[in-house]
Each structure stands twice: as structure tokens, then as C-alpha cells.
Amino acid sequence: MLGTTEIIIIAAIILLLFGGSQIPKLMRGIGQGVNAYKKGLAGEPDEDKKENQDKAEKGDKAEKKVKNKTEN
């Protein structure tokens, strides 16, 4: 297990290597990777669900247009 001193030393080395402006970008990238991993473990990603929903809505709209044209 890492102690407080070891964590401070690691943080200082990371700060020296990447600089202060690059650390938020680095952490953001790590966070996005972790979120993608969690979504992958949970099953179908939200993007695929949205795409399927959009396709279903487009199909419903097309059916309504056809129905309206046949009624006129």
C-alpha cells in the first residue's frame, strides 16, 4: 500500500514530466477511458441505444408519410 510520502513523490514526478497545463488533459483522458470501460462492461453503450431509437423514429415518420399519401 502506498503511503502519503510515496503519493506526494509520484505526484511531483508527474508534475515535472507533464507540466501543470497538461495534467487536466491527462486526467480527462483517463476519466474518459474509465467511463468507456465501465460502459463496455455494463452492456450496450448509450450511443447504440440512441442510434436504434433514432432509426425507429425515422421508420415511424416514414410510415406516417406513406399513410397520409394513401389517404389523400
- pLDDT 10s digits, 4-63: 999 999 989 988 988 888 888 888 999 999 999 998 888 755 555 666 666 666 666 666
Distances (CA, A) of 21 to 10, 12, 31, 61: 17, 14, 17, 48
pLDDT of residue 33: 92
Where does residue 23 rank: exposed (0-12), middle (13-18), buried (19+ CB within 10 A)? Answer: middle
pTM: 0.42
The DSSP letter of residue 44 is S
CA distance 5 to 8: 5
CA distance 69 to 29: 51
Structural domain for 37, as ranges: 4-71
How many domains, in total, are found in the chain? 1
